[in-house]
Structure 1
Amino acid sequence: MFPTVETLADQPFLSGLTDHQLSLLAPLTSRSMFHAGNRIFREGAPAEQFWLLTQGQVYLDTEVPGHDNFVLEKLRAPTVLGCSWLFAPYRWTFGAVAIDTTHALTFNGPLVRALFQSDPGLGSELTTRFLSVMGRRLHAARRRMADCQRATGHRRDL
């Protein structure tokens, strides 16, 4: 059974969408659960979905050759996870791992992209919301990397 329009309406990321728009998204949605330590997706792998975290926490990370993955940000529910499904070449630019038991609503990326073609207004609205999330996360990643540079005393000028 798909999550209901009411379930979707309760998600902050989808706040303000009409019942009609939510009814178009609901059939493209399922429920997921990730146990602590489970990798949700790996950097470079095909990106075919996104999630709205309803409970739990996730690390966004990036691969650093010869080292452990570098944590860019800790995401806490309620929030959106995954933006790479929206832009070609549809590959994850980061990785994600569950910190604790995490529940989410999972959206089928290719079907949502197809929906955007048939409903450009919805496509524009959600794309704008994803771009806002990406901007905030980029800023947070830059802050975290600057903090690491200060802590280690390393500076690299480009």
Structure 2
Amino acid sequence: MRPLPAVRPATREDREAIAAIYNAALAERASTFETRPRTLEDIDAWLGQRHPVLVAEEASRVIAYASTSPYSPRECYAGIADFSIYVAPEARGRNVGQHVLQALLEAAEAAGFHKLTSRVFATNVRSRALLGRLGFREVGVHEKHAPLDGVWHDIVVVEKLLPTNVR
């Protein structure tokens, strides 16, 4: 069994790997409604902000990432962050996703967030199981949330409170 990869904050040097991982998932059409591949400039905009972006690295190669982004532009929701997690196809099934997401929970809590939230395709049972193992709560289903390649998909809304910052 391989040891778990090192997890660290993402840097500009990781942009190409992050884009490649995301774009591989985009091509699979099972986890995002986006259809435009991510560019290095897209990834660059995520970095150096209040919202943590982490990578999992194995043998000097990025094999997964987890990121947070603003939930809403409204100030009253500044303590909530959306999150995403993507694992390179060749690294799936080895607990890499759980490892990097656990680190993201810690980083988000350290950054002062009190809640993480996301939306997951209802058919993405592996991601839903992972989120359940880490204590995320499924709070509802948005039916026919958006079409992808002409097919409407339901999404499951998930959330997790970060107890240190719940006042």
Give the TM-score taking structure 1 as reference length: 0.25
Which structure would you say has the larger RCO, counting Cα contacts within 8 Å and 6 or more residues apart? 1
Give the TM-score taking structure 2 as reference length: 0.24
Q: More strand by proportion, 1 or 2?
A: 2
Q: More helix by proportion, 1 or 2?
A: 1
